[in-house]
């Protein structure tokens, strides 16, 4: 007999029924010939050796041996309804083996004293794992034998390319003070799991078939971060788990781990909310009901502390309370209160006041005069003026869910919606809609009726610009300002409330000029249950949103019309997202002049503007098509022009034509547009009419071939006329998760092509990289979010071979690398202990490490470059300072500071000057990044120890790879919030000389150009009557 000891864990002390005990005992005693541990053998603690060569030796039905697994070399056998005989080699034991126990998925299924056993196997959907253990006469049990994985579909095995699910709920704990036990939740797979691979601090630790692993090499008080990856039987590897960290130190880089305190809950019925409130009463700061038209109980909950969203939601799913709360019964879903960013490229940048002082004032226009000008130019005009003749009517309302709007603007004030049923200033909800004094709409970000604040006009340019385009497209349309964007960001909860408000107030068209990569069930619910038409901007990442969705444009809702941007040639705008299935039409989105706060006008670009054009067109059709928003959508699409240049980017290559839409003239003729290279571009800086709020990009940029994948946090370097992009991380859009990369791509500037090369041995985000002796050296970085690496690798491009080299003395990511002769200086960076100011020096000849004097300040995400035997290090987290290392004296000194802090940007040397490019001014959460991107390019002149703004970036981004080739600066990949880029942008810097201005006039004595030194910094353009139309700034 063999006795299994049963342990019962209960919340409350209570007796277990005799019936239950008898049932459990009968189950445990089912194998009556399993031995009992003999009392006289207690001193024998040596377990038998594991049985070997466990395998299937005979079957009565059909069986196919499929091979062995990748890591553990287990046998995989396909068996269909057979009687199976297993056999194995006899185990060895000091006291003798008594018998063998066969396990299936870690559950005992048979016991025998022989070395083979036969029993029936029935088909199951999932793989079954069989093994055998030996019992000796003293009751000791051996380790498990090798596994036999039994599956029932050989085709599924052979064709399997689906990775397992990511291991979840990874935990770590110290066991007996000498080892660390790492445990996790089992992964799932369509065929079956082979094993798990364990990583410690980014290095491979070992494999196991179990759901736990013991690390005996743990050093007390050291930092250890563990992650797990699952392998399936076909060798596919899962996404690496989130790290479990055993450390007393606080993670300095919390900004890399997304946390929030805001969640949206949708209940299945009204009773669920009370039970949920009680469950979370100690951790909740507040509950706020969200009005909706779904007759559903929906709430915004705000926690007292920020948490990792996935961890919080998983914990809720497992919790129950005494009042009977059950997630599956009470809650339909919980999601993060996701943020959206404005889908615009521009913001208010700093300016060169001395140039603007030389510019004459712009003339004043009405909004109708503006739209009659060549906004989109030539063939990309939308024929809006022609549409007006057929639609002149009142009471057409478009809700603009955006920033505040300057409702006092002289060209907008007559187009602002007024709530006729509300009395202004009495603080009473006269119309009973739940909002007091909502005369012109509502401010959902601050819960007030003030949609325009004179003190916050800096945050109203986007909404005012959008409102101006709608009003100029459909002059009789009324704009309902609903403020949901604040500092460029909007919460889902505010958007839901604004949608509900617009719906209740009878609005038919909603303009949505904002974007997010996060799938958002709550927002989709609101849209699907509304009978309004939602006009959505495609977004500005230049990505195919069929493959990497951006919402709400990529929702499959029938009442959404999604709009991409086309330039004046009828070609997809270089910044615009696209998608043959997700996008419906294109519209003008480049260099569009519209209203700005304080009676001003300015040019801007972005897919935000395309949505505004289509919202205006939809409003024109309200009287023609009635309130049927589905007919309006269909009319807009079928009457759009078709461009050969847009085929594959929008369905049928369509771009809106307002005149044809109003006249209901369908267009099937394809307009041929010859595209020599639709990725070459040169965007011009455009000034506002009054010099205070200038929207700028730069005229010196060119686009090259895209990387195969979008990525950020990569390193870039040039060697022998080729450019290499190494590592970084990639967003899994469906999971909203990142994974660091080991990939390497080579760019050939001559052929303008990217080629994939052999990948690195380890995953690396933000590694340091340098070239020495025609080889590339990669140092440290991070594996996923929190695993700081001290490893390094050498790459030989001639042979496409990677070689591991001596580990760095200090693990670090976000460091700088500068090569000097045969030495490479690794400067700053950070790890789990915080920012680093240490400098490690690697000798490429001896493969050894030494140290150099520390820099003066710890720097993460700084840049470094070499000029005239001096190393320059600038920026880093919260740093705008410059440090200079004189290699002849081995000392650091401070140089002049940049105008702003920069980190996750770039620093390169060209023509004896430094160029600091882009980056973030503050470490902020991903959802807030856009508002903290610095787009200027500052130039440093060593002779005068001074900085000045040389230019501006073509795209708003950070965390890109940067290098130089042939005196040009290459910007590769990068990110803006939750959008990663695969772009390759090239900038040819113009080296500054002196500050002398030259003014050039035409034969009519009109100022047409301003030069600084010999370089043009501004050009002025006039119409045929001599009126100034617009000004292009190149500075």
Residues 771, 830: one domain?
A: yes
Q: pLDDT digits over 707-737, tens only?
A: 988 889 999 999 999 999 999 887 654 444 5
Beta strands in 163-219 (DSSP E): 168-175, 179-185, 193-200, 203-208, 212-215
Share of the chain above pLDDT 70, in %: 78
Give me the pLDDT at residue 158, please. 82
Residues 138, 233: one domain?
A: no
Which pTM value belongs to this model? 0.57
How many other C-beta atoms lie within 10 A of the C-beta of residue 250?
9
Residues 977, 945: one domain?
A: yes
Query: Is 911 among the domain residues?
Result: yes
Residues 436, 381: one domain?
A: yes
* pLDDT for residue 685 is more than 80: no
CA distance 412 to 435: 24
* pLDDT for residue 492 is more than 90: yes
Q: How many angstroms separate the first and last alpha carbons of the chain? A: 90
User: Which region among 158-162, 302-306, 683-687 has the lowest average model confidence (pLDDT)?
Assistant: 683-687
Comparison of pLDDT for 31 and 362, the residue scoring more: 362
Residues 269, 148: one domain?
A: no
Query: Is 809 among the domain residues?
Result: yes
3-state secondary structure of 959: coil
Q: pLDDT digits over 317-336, tens only?
A: 877 665 577 778 888 999 99
Share of the chain above pLDDT 90, in %: 39
Query: Is 345 among the domain residues?
Result: no
Domain limits for position 575: 366-675
Give me the pLDDT at residue 154, please. 78
Q: pLDDT digits over 863-899, tens only?
A: 999 988 899 999 988 788 999 999 999 999 999 999 8
CA distance 639 to 373: 23
Query: Is 347 among the domain residues?
Result: no
Query: Is 689 among the domain residues?
Result: no
Task: Provide mean pLDDT across the span 503-531.
Answer: 94
| CATH code of residue 153 | 2.60.40.10
Question: What is the total count of domains within the chain?
Answer: 6
Residues 272, 305: one domain?
A: yes
Distances (CA, A) of 388 to 472, 475, 593, 941: 10, 8, 19, 56
- Structure token pair of residue 556: 């499959």
CA distance 970 to 718: 10
Residues 133, 33: one domain?
A: yes
Q: Which of 343, 384, 342, 452 is nearest to 619 (CA)?
A: 384
Identify which of 86-90, 188-192, 974-978 has the greatest average pLDDT. 86-90
Residues 718, 666: one domain?
A: no
Q: pLDDT digits over 198-211, tens only?
A: 988 777 788 998 89
Give me the pLDDT at residue 35, please. 36
CA distance 764 to 792: 10
* pLDDT for residue 1004 is more than 80: no
Give me the pLDDT at residue 585, please. 96
CA distance 66 to 159: 12
Q: pLDDT digits over 579-618, tens only?
A: 999 999 999 988 888 888 988 888 888 889 999 999 999 9
Task: Provide mean pLDDT across the span 466-480.
Answer: 92
Task: Provide mean pLDDT across the span 5-20.
Answer: 31
Query: Is 955 among the domain residues?
Result: yes
Give me the pLDDT at residue 6, please. 28
* pLDDT for residue 768 is more than 50: yes
Residues 97, 239: one domain?
A: no
Q: pLDDT digits over 276-286, tens only?
A: 888 787 777 77
Residues 531, 495: one domain?
A: yes
| CATH code of residue 811 | 2.120.10.80
Residues 215, 116: one domain?
A: no
* pLDDT for residue 1032 is more than 70: no
CA distance 761 to 778: 11
Residues 845, 785: one domain?
A: yes
CA distance 697 to 231: 47
Mean pLDDT of the chain: 80
Give me the pLDDT at residue 744, please. 93
Task: Provide mean pLDDT across the span 418-441.
Answer: 92
Query: Is 603 among the domain residues?
Result: yes
* pLDDT for residue 10 is more than 80: no
């Amino acid at each position: 007999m063999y006795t299994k000891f049963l342990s019962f864990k209960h919340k409350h002390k209570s007796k277990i029924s005799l019936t239950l005990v008898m049932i459990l005992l009968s189950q445990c005693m089912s194998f009556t010939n399993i031995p009992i541990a003999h009392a006289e053998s207690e001193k024998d603690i040596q377990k038998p050796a594991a049985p070997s060569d466990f395998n299937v030796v005979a079957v009565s039905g059909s069986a196919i041996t499929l091979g062995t697994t990748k890591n553990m070399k287990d046998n995989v056998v396909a068996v269909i309804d057979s009687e199976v005989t297993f056999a194995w080699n006899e185990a060895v034991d000091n006291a003798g083996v008594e018998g063998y126990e066969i396990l299936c998925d870690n559950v005992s299924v048979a016991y025998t004293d022989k070395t083979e056993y036969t029993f029936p196997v029935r088909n199951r959907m999932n793989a079954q794992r069989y093994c055998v253990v030996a019992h000796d006469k003293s009751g000791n049990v051996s380790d498990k034998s090798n596994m036999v994985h039994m599956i029932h579909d050989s085709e599924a095995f052979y064709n399997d390319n689906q990775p397992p699910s990511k291991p979840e709920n990874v935990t770590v704990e110290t066991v007996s003070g000498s080892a660390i036990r790492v445990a996790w939740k089992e992964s799932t797979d369509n065929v079956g799991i082979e094993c798990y691979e364990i990583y410690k601090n980014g290095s491979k630790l070992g494999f196991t078939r179990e759901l736990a692993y013991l690390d005996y090499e743990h050093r007390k008080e050291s930092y250890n971060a563990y992650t797990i990856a699952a392998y399936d039987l076909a060798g596919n590897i899962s996404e690496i788990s989130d790290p479990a960290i055993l450390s007393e130190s606080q993670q300095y880089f919390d900004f890399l781990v997304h946390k929030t305190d805001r969640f949206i809950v949708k209940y299945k019925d009204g009773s669920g909310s009370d039970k949920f409130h009680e469950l979370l009463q100690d951790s909740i700061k507040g509950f706020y009901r969200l009005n909706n038209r779904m007759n559903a109980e929906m709430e915004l909950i705000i926690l007292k502390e920020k948490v990792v969203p996935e961890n919080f939601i998983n914990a809720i799913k497992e919790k129950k309370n005494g009042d009977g709360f059950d997630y599956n019964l009470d809650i339909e879903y919980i999601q993060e209160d996701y943020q959206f960013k404005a889908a615009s490229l521009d913001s208010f940048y700093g300016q060169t006041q001395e140039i603007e002082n030389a510019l004459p004032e712009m003339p004043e226009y009405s909004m109708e005069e503006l739209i009659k000008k060549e906004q989109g130019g030539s063939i990309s005009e939308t024929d809006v003026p022609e549409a007006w003749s057929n639609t002149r009517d009142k009471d057409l309302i478009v809700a603009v869910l955006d920033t505040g709007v300057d409702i006092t603007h002289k060209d907008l004030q007559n187009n602002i919606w007024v709530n006729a049923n509300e009395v202004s200033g009495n603080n009473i909800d006269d119309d009973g809609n739940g909002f007091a004094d909502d005369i012109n709409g509502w401010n959902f970000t601050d819960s007030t009726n003030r949609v325009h604040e004179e003190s916050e006009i800096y945050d109203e340019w986007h909404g005012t610009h959008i409102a101006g385009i709608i009003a100029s497209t459909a002059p009789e349309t009324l704009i309902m300002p609903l403020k949901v964007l604040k500092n460029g960001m909007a919460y889902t909860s505010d958007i839901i409330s604004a949608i509900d408000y617009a719906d209740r107030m009878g609005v038919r068209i909603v303009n949505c000029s904002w974007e997010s990569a996060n799938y958002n069930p709550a927002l989709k619910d609101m849209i699907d249950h509304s009978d309004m038409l939602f006009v959505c901007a495609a977004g500005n990442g230049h990505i195919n949103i069929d493959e990497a969705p951006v919402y709400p444009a990529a929702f499959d809702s029938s009442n959404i019309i999604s709009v991409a941007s086309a330039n004046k040639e009828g070609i997809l705008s270089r910044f615009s997202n696209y998608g043959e299935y997700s996008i419906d039409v294109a519209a003008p989105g480049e260099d569009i002049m519209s209203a700005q706060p304080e009676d001003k006008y300015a040019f801007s670009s972005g897919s935000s503007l395309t949505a505004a054009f289509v919202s205006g067109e939809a409003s024109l059709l309200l009287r023609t098509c009635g309130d049927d928003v589905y007919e309006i959508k269909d009319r807009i699409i079928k009457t759009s022009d078709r461009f050969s240049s847009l085929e594959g980017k929008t369905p049928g290559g369509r771009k809106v034509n307002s005149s044809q839409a109003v006249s209901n003239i369908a267009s099937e003729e394809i307009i041929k547009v010859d595209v020599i290279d639709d990725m070459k571009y040169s965007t011009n800086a455009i000034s506002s009419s009054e010099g205070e709020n200038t929207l700028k990009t730069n005229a010196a940029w060119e686009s090259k071939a895209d990387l195969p994948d979008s990525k950020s946090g990569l390193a870039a370097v040039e060697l022998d006329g080729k450019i290499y992009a190494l590592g970084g991380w990639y967003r899994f859009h469906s999971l909203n998760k990142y994974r660091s990369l080991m990939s390497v791509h080579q760019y050939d500037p001559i052929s303008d092509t990217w080629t994939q090369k052999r990948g690195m041995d380890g995953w690396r985000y933000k590694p340091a990289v340098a070239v020495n002796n025609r080889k590339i050296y990669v140092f440290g970085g991070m594996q996923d979010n929190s695993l700081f690496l001290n490893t390094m690798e050498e790459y030989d491009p001639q042979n496409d071979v990677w070689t591991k080299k001596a580990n760095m003395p200090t693990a670090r990511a976000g460091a700088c690398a500068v090569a000097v002769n045969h030495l490479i200086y690794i400067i700053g960076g950070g790890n789990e202990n915080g920012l680093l100011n240490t400098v490690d020096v690697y000798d490429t000849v001896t493969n050894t490490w030494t140290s150099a004097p520390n820099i003066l300040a710890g720097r993460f995400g700084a840049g470094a470059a070499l000029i005239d035997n001096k190393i320059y290090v600038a920026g880093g987290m919260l740093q705008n300072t410059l440090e200079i290392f004189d290699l002849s004296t081995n000392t650091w000194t401070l140089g002049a500071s940049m105008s702003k802090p920069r980190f996750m940007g770039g620093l390169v040397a060209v023509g004896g000057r430094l160029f600091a490019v882009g980056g973030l001014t503050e470490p902020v959460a991903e959802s807030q990044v856009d508002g903290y991107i610095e787009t200027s390019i500052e130039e440093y002149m060593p002779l005068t120890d001074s900085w000045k703004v040389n230019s501006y970036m073509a795209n708003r981004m950070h965390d890109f790879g940067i290098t130089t080739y042939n005196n040009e600066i290459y910007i590769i990949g990068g990110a803006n919030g939750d959008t990663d880029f695969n772009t390759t942008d090239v900038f040819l810097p113009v080296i500054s000389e002196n500050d002398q201005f030259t003014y050039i006039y035409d034969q009519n004595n009109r100022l047409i150009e301003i030069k600084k030194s010999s370089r043009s910094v501004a050009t002025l353009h006039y119409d045929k009557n001599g009126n100034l139309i617009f000004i292009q700034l190149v500075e």
